Amino acid sequence: MYIQEAMMELKDFNEKEQAQIKAGLSEAAISDKETADRIIALVPEEWVRKIPFFVRKHAITKTVEKIANEHPDLYAAARRKEGMPAKEKEELRQIITGIFEEKMNKHNIK
């Protein structure tokens, strides 16, 4: 099945967002990249690919930071080397896909 990706360009963002992008978007300092990778792996890959490359790192790091701050128990479960328990994994999947869905809708990324 062929999936057409939305190819957003800088002009597709409002003036304030364009100024932020040009200035360089902030990124969260992620100390545990393996945990971040495990968390982001819960997001459908095609969703991540739809995020314009020039804001992707910002979106990913800030989302992982948000989860670490707002759901420390789930973040701790993701840090486990032996794998996340199924219940926590599903709960985390719902939270992160909800965050991505909300942000993608806000920025009209389809």
C-beta atoms surrounding 66 within 10 Å: 15
d(CA 90, CA 27): 26
- Residue 39 CB neighbour total at 10 angstroms: 26
Ranges of each domain in the chain:
27-106
Per-residue pLDDT reduced to its tens digit, 14-39: 787 767 766 655 555 567 888 989 99
Secondary structure (DSSP) of 31-46 = S-HHHHHHHHTTS-HH
Residue 40, pLDDT > 70, answer: yes
Q: For residue 95, give both structure tokens.
A: 């939270």
Q: pTM surpassing 0.75?
A: no
pLDDT band at residue 6 under the 50/70/90 scheme: very low
